[in-house]
Structure 1
Amino acid sequence: MTTVRDATLGVLRQCGVDRVFGNPGSTEIPFLAHLPDDLTFVLALHEGSVVGMATGYALATGAPAVVNLHTTAGLGNAVGALATARVNRAPLVVLVGQQDRRHLAEEPFLAGRLDQLAGPYPVWVDQPVRAQDVPAAVRRAWHEAALHGGPAIVVVPMDDWAVEIDPSLGLAAPVTVRQAAPAPGPAVDEVAGLLDAATSPVLVVGAGADDRASWDALVDLVDRIGAPVWQEAFGARAGFPQDHPRFAGHLPVNRTRLRSVLAGHDLALVVGTAAFRQYVYEPGPLLPDGLAVAVVSADPAELHRSHADLAVRADPATFCAALAGRVAARDRPAPARPVAPAPVPPPVTGEPMWATQVFAALAERLPADVVLVEESPSSRPDLHRLLPARAPRGFVSAAMGGLGFGLPAAAGLRLGDPSRPVVALLGDGSSLYAIQGLWSAARYGCGVLYIVLSNGRYAVMNQLTERYGGTAPWPAFEEVDVHGLARSLGCPSRRIRSHAELVAVLDEVVPTLADRTEPLLLDVPVSAEPYPKA
């Protein structure tokens, strides 16, 4: 006898799945009980950590990760993390349990209205009309997640798994889906014409260009035309080598400064992101007068929300490689921009340590292939300045902005690609949104170096409140012991009490990062005040 569960497990095997990320609930037990030996259940202690870890794993492997969530409670807990997965372009196949189909009309305990619970963030949602259609729905979810770069949800009533299915009938879903990849076509000539006609072009890159082929194509293009390159604001990943001499920095997040940065350019070519992401609203025009904008992205949603004169839906690597071969070389390339940051001296004895000094110590020691996961909002500009991404996937953050992504995502990134060292830089406030993820990191041998910058408060929120002329109405939480929490969750941890101790520990640990099979958390007290500028 072949059941829906058997057939679905066969689909997952065909897709190369060897693990399921989840936190179990009763409606999922018919699927999870007696899970075969070739499929590992990776446990996280909260659904946000489940999805965060799976997101990191999907980004590391480049293939969809499979997530199991528990009806309304589990899916509801995971919505914020699913939104982050969507904006971070992480393909996920999400199996959501539902109450027994035979009495759903009566809305029994644990029944959920699940098809709209995650809002617009899934790339596809389905609750199959018949139990027999579940395997085909899972196969389609795999293709939808891979194609659109986001979570695809299949809601499965718990009794569906035991329903018999006739394997000779096949599945109403293709085994393999190929996306046609024609030559970029006339759009390349159109964009090349715009670049050739521009007196002072500039490039803006985003997370959609974070792969080796796109980096190589963009470097060829920039070297040919001599243009500066800016990174999108609040990007999930780097779209260009940030140690390249033409890398100019990260775009400002408000209109006034954005206009200032782009002033003097007559064409902005935006690749792998939308034009242009902002944060706090400011009145006035978005762009300076005289600036034309062309956007190239594989994501149609990015194209349609861009302030652009021309939008081209295309694979960034393919398009930019063709573009570099057609655009005219500049006789006088733009001058190279120095990128070496000013030295950061260590603290004077007795002074508090700043996050910037931690970054500077790391900058002297981290290898070029490190995967740096960031969730330290108050010190992110200094992190960008001192720790540039030097390899694809060298920087990973939560483009959606919600906290709780970095800690489990770092574990998933290491689990998905053990060949790359992974370092997560987290604020203590950020870490507390997903601190239970340390248990999973330890349990599954994810050799991440977690550095928690502890100032006992939400420093970025306090700074924003001060800009509005107010004082924070919430208390500090200096009594929280991240070091102790980590140890209680089975994660090795050390509390760092001085800059000298930090340097000694980094000298000991960083050379081991590539081969580590257990996580290590460093709890580093830092000043809550911004780093003093020269």
Structure 2
Amino acid sequence: MAQPHGTGAPPRSVRDATLDGLREYGLTTIFSNPGSTEVGFLTDLPEDLRFVLALHEGSVVGMATGWAIARDRPALVLLHTTAGLGNAVGALATARVNRAPLVVLVGQQDRRHLALEPFLAGKLRDLAGDYPVRVEEPATAQDVPGAIARCRHAAADARGPALVIVPMDDWAAPAESDRVVAAARHVTRADGVEDAGVASLASLLNEADAPALVTGAGTDSEEGWAGLVALAERIGAPVFQESFGARAGFPQDHPLFAGFLPADRPGLRATLAGRDAVLAVGAPVFRQYPYTEGPLVEPGTRVGLLTDDPAEAYRSPVETAVLAPIPAALRLLARHAAARQWTAAPHKDTTTIEAPERPAPGQPMLPAHVLAALAERVPADTVFVEETPSSRPEMHRRVPARRPLGFLSAAMGGLGFALPAATGVRMARPDRPVIAVVGDGSSLYQVQALWSAARYGAGVLFVVLSNGRYAVMDRLAERHGGKPAWPGFPELAVSGLARELSCPSQRVEALDDLVAILDSVVPTLREREEPLVLDVAVAAEADFSGI
């Protein structure tokens, strides 16, 4: 923690935080041939760290390679900007082929004038080519300790050199006491999924009084759902879905489903308050959208991760991360976790959500009217492909995923996903009804996919919520206290574009008409070979509860 003002003690620096991290990971022997960009790190080096000098960078890396192989653990290397890293490339290539885990710190010129390309500034990211297993360029000085931790995990896991490029002024920058370090403290690889591989996660759950689970795309399979249901029911833990998840990782009509995590830190802390342990399974820890201050969870809450994604394991700010095939690891966890009594999670069942009041005469439908009408009619194994940013929270409330592959969205947040993805899903799984729910603005990014859907007999029902604008962007502009710079496009008819692309379509402006069409079309979706676009006029509303 930073020292309070008036104590006389110097403020805690990024160098201080880094040295503590190096001690924790046993990286206390530094192999180096230093230069001026490393002086701030090396001056007055604490006595518990050992400095080993070599007279050429090839020798530096060669010595560290031998040390790492002999100790079977990562070694620490410190190199001097372009000249040092350039001299070391051949030895780094040898380390990679020899599967020697190295954490390589590379000095860089002062961050404050890098844009001017001062003397000793280097273009370092790609200088070693493909030989590093990971390269990190921290975006801010305060990101340096986390970057080093992630590279330590990568070096140990991928068995090779991992590079962190550190501008020379970063070492003296103040460390932020409440900074979330985006790195796991410990990462365990459990390829064979033996009992020892998941022991740390089993202990995390068994030592907790009130554990919770968080899931996402990583468990969206028949085996994943079955394994997570078995674990949740054994330990009586509520299961939350990650925010902005691309897929559903747990049956959202299960009594232990607790809803969707907020995408801001205050909301996240409030939602997980009272939980002394949280295990994320196949989901990031934790996906956020707006930046807000403070920790992700309340003090005292322990966090663990089970994932099959190495990068997710390295960057997650957790006590322990286990890299393993998720379904098999879940089965083991369910055997080792202590059984508990449980009751339904305190989350409103989607079946109890009241239908919205009918629109007044002459008033457009709300997205809730459309989604409620769909929810009342679709079979449980329907695949919903979503791309309607302003209506996504409403969709989550009213249309739960009830089977694996029940929900699909774009993980990156870019538009243009739903129309082609729904077409591909239907072509791959003709046994499943497929419905794409898309905003009219989103549909324009890949409207050409409708031609392919028609040409190849992909019988998707495309439901376009048409409000003639980018509603979520309009509301964000209002939140910022101003007017949007972009116009609306109420004159653009998606139904007309669809017809020009040989895809059948209908414009729908009244709720009774929508209900009649759905009553006719939904029962045909399992066998349907002709796509249909419903261009549904809706009011321009935007829900920020999921943003």
Per the TM superposition, whether the score is higher than 0.5 is yes
Tell me the equivalent position of 2:61.
none
Q: Paired residue for 1:302, among 312, 315, 319?
A: 312
Contact 1:187 1:312 in 2 (8 A): yes
Tell me the equivalent position of 1:171.
none
Question: Residue 408 and residue 263 in structure 1: after superposition, are their counterparts in 2 closer, same or farther (change >3 A)?
Answer: same
Q: Paired residue for 2:194, among 174, 184, 194?
A: 184
Tell me the equivalent position of 1:292.
302
What is the rounded CA distance, in whole Å, between the counterparts of 2:193 and 2:320 in structure 1?
Answer: 19
What is the rounded CA distance, in whole Å, between the counterparts of 2:353 and 2:463 in structure 1?
Answer: 23
Shift of 1:221: 0.9
Tell me the equivalent position of 1:277.
287
SS at match of 1:472: coil
Shift of 1:331: 4.0
Q: Tell me, yes or no, if structure 1 residue 344 matches structure 2 residue 377.
A: no
What is the rounded CA distance, in whole Å, between the counterparts of 1:245 and 1:378 in structure 2?
Answer: 27
Tell me the equivalent position of 2:427.
415
TM-score w.r.t. length of structure 1? 0.65
Q: Tell me, yes or no, if structure 1 residue 239 matches structure 2 residue 249.
A: yes
Tell me the equivalent position of 2:414.
402
Higher relative contact order (CA 8 A, sep 6+): 1
What is the rounded CA distance, in whole Å, between the counterparts of 2:287 and 2:496 in structure 1?
Answer: 39
The aligned runs of 1:391-470 (5 Å cut-off) are: 391-470=403-482
| CA displacement, residues 440-498 of structure 1 (integer Å, 9 cap, x when unaligned) | 11001000000000000000000111111111111100111111000000000011120
Contact 1:372 1:424 in 2 (8 A): yes
What is the rounded CA distance, in whole Å, between the counterparts of 2:321 and 2:506 in structure 1?
Answer: 50
What is the rounded CA distance, in whole Å, between the counterparts of 2:353 and 2:345 in structure 1?
Answer: 20
Alignment length (residue pairs)? 360
Contact 1:184 1:314 in 2 (8 A): no
Question: Residue 532 and residue 313 in structure 1: after superposition, are their counterparts in 2 closer, same or farther (change >3 A)?
Answer: closer
SS at match of 2:271: helix
- The share of aligned pairs that are identical, in percent, is 55
| CA displacement, residues 153-175 of structure 1 (integer Å, 9 cap, x when unaligned) | xxxxxxxxxxxxxxxxxxxxxxx
Runs of at least 5 residues in structure 1 that lack an aligned partner in the other structure: 1-115, 124-179
What is the rounded CA distance, in whole Å, between the counterparts of 2:345 and 2:397 in structure 1?
Answer: 20
Shift of 1:338: 4.1
What is the rounded CA distance, in whole Å, between the counterparts of 2:221 and 2:541 in structure 1?
Answer: 36
Contact 1:356 1:531 in 2 (8 A): no
| CA displacement, residues 254-300 of structure 1 (integer Å, 9 cap, x when unaligned) | 11101111111110000002201101111222221111111000000
SS at match of 2:218: helix
Question: Residue 276 and residue 532 in structure 1: after superposition, are their counterparts in 2 closer, same or farther (change >3 A)?
Answer: closer
What is the rounded CA distance, in whole Å, between the counterparts of 1:316 and 1:231 in structure 2?
Answer: 16
Q: Paired residue for 1:493, among 485, 500, 505?
A: 505
Q: Which has the larger displacement, 405-414 or 282-291?
A: 282-291
Contact 2:284 2:312 in 1 (8 A): yes
Tell me the equivalent position of 1:68.
none
Q: Paired residue for 1:388, among 382, 400, 405?
A: 400
| CA displacement, residues 24-64 of structure 1 (integer Å, 9 cap, x when unaligned) | xxxxxxxxxxxxxxxxxxxxxxxxxxxxxxxxxxxxxxxxx
What is the rounded CA distance, in whole Å, between the counterparts of 1:256 and 1:247 in structure 2?
Answer: 21
What is the rounded CA distance, in whole Å, between the counterparts of 2:219 and 2:420 in structure 1?
Answer: 24
Q: Tell me, yes or no, if structure 1 residue 520 matches structure 2 residue 547.
A: no
Contact 1:255 1:282 in 2 (8 A): yes
Q: Paired residue for 2:488, among 476, 488, 491?
A: 476
Which amino acid letter does the alignment assign opposite residue 236 of structure 1? A
Q: Tell me, yes or no, if structure 1 residue 313 matches structure 2 residue 320.
A: no
What is the rounded CA distance, in whole Å, between the counterparts of 2:448 and 2:366 in structure 1?
Answer: 26
Question: Residue 335 and residue 478 in structure 1: after superposition, are their counterparts in 2 closer, same or farther (change >3 A)?
Answer: closer
What is the rounded CA distance, in whole Å, between the counterparts of 2:202 and 2:337 in structure 1?
Answer: 5
Q: Tell me, yes or no, if structure 1 residue 211 matches structure 2 residue 209.
A: no
What is the rounded CA distance, in whole Å, between the counterparts of 2:543 and 2:292 in structure 1?
Answer: 26
SS at match of 1:432: helix
Which amino acid letter does the alignment assign opposite residue 343 of structure 1? E
Question: Residue 451 and residue 333 in structure 1: after superposition, are their counterparts in 2 closer, same or farther (change >3 A)?
Answer: closer
Contact 2:420 2:449 in 1 (8 A): yes
What is the rounded CA distance, in whole Å, between the counterparts of 2:475 and 2:349 in structure 1?
Answer: 27
Runs of at least 5 residues in structure 2 that lack an aligned partner in the other structure: 1-125, 134-189
In terms of Rg, which structure is larger?
A: 2
SS at match of 1:233: coil
What is the rounded CA distance, in whole Å, between the counterparts of 1:333 and 1:357 in structure 2?
Answer: 32
Shift of 1:531: 7.4
Question: Residue 417 and residue 500 in structure 1: after superposition, are their counterparts in 2 closer, same or farther (change >3 A)?
Answer: same
What is the rounded CA distance, in whole Å, between the counterparts of 2:475 and 2:366 in structure 1?
Answer: 15
Contact 1:254 1:282 in 2 (8 A): yes
What is the rounded CA distance, in whole Å, between the counterparts of 1:205 and 1:403 in structure 2?
Answer: 24
Shift of 1:225: 1.0
Shift of 1:335: 5.4
Shift of 1:337: 4.2
Tell me the equivalent position of 1:196.
206
What is the rounded CA distance, in whole Å, between the counterparts of 1:249 and 1:184 in structure 2?
Answer: 32
TM-score w.r.t. length of structure 2? 0.63
Shift of 1:387: 0.3
Which amino acid letter does the alignment assign opposite residue 496 of structure 2? G
Q: Over the residues paired in the alignment, what is the CA RMSD in angstroms? A: 2.3
Contact 1:371 1:393 in 2 (8 A): yes
What is the rounded CA distance, in whole Å, between the counterparts of 2:399 and 2:483 in structure 1?
Answer: 32
What is the rounded CA distance, in whole Å, between the counterparts of 1:425 and 1:214 in structure 2?
Answer: 25
Shift of 1:350: 2.3
SS at match of 1:324: helix
| CA displacement, residues 348-368 of structure 1 (integer Å, 9 cap, x when unaligned) | 332220001100000000100
Tell me the equivalent position of 1:510.
522
What is the rounded CA distance, in whole Å, between the counterparts of 2:309 and 2:459 in structure 1?
Answer: 33
SS at match of 1:224: helix
Shift of 1:181: 5.5
SS at match of 2:446: coil
Question: Residue 245 and residue 332 in structure 1: after superposition, are their counterparts in 2 closer, same or farther (change >3 A)?
Answer: closer
What is the rounded CA distance, in whole Å, between the counterparts of 1:528 and 1:362 in structure 2?
Answer: 19
Question: Residue 231 and residue 332 in structure 1: after superposition, are their counterparts in 2 closer, same or farther (change >3 A)?
Answer: closer
| CA displacement, residues 423-455 of structure 1 (integer Å, 9 cap, x when unaligned) | 000000000000111001100100000000000
Contact 1:242 1:390 in 2 (8 A): yes
Question: Residue 532 and residue 437 in structure 1: after superposition, are their counterparts in 2 closer, same or farther (change >3 A)?
Answer: closer
Tell me the equivalent position of 2:235.
225
Question: Residue 512 and residue 301 in structure 1: after superposition, are their counterparts in 2 closer, same or farther (change >3 A)?
Answer: same
| CA displacement, residues 384-423 of structure 1 (integer Å, 9 cap, x when unaligned) | 0000100000000001000000110000000111111100
The aligned runs of 1:110-129 (5 Å cut-off) are: none
SS at match of 2:526: helix
Question: Residue 307 and residue 369 in structure 1: after superposition, are their counterparts in 2 closer, same or farther (change >3 A)?
Answer: same
Which amino acid letter does the alignment assign opposite residue 438 of structure 1? L
What is the rounded CA distance, in whole Å, between the counterparts of 1:197 and 1:187 in structure 2?
Answer: 17
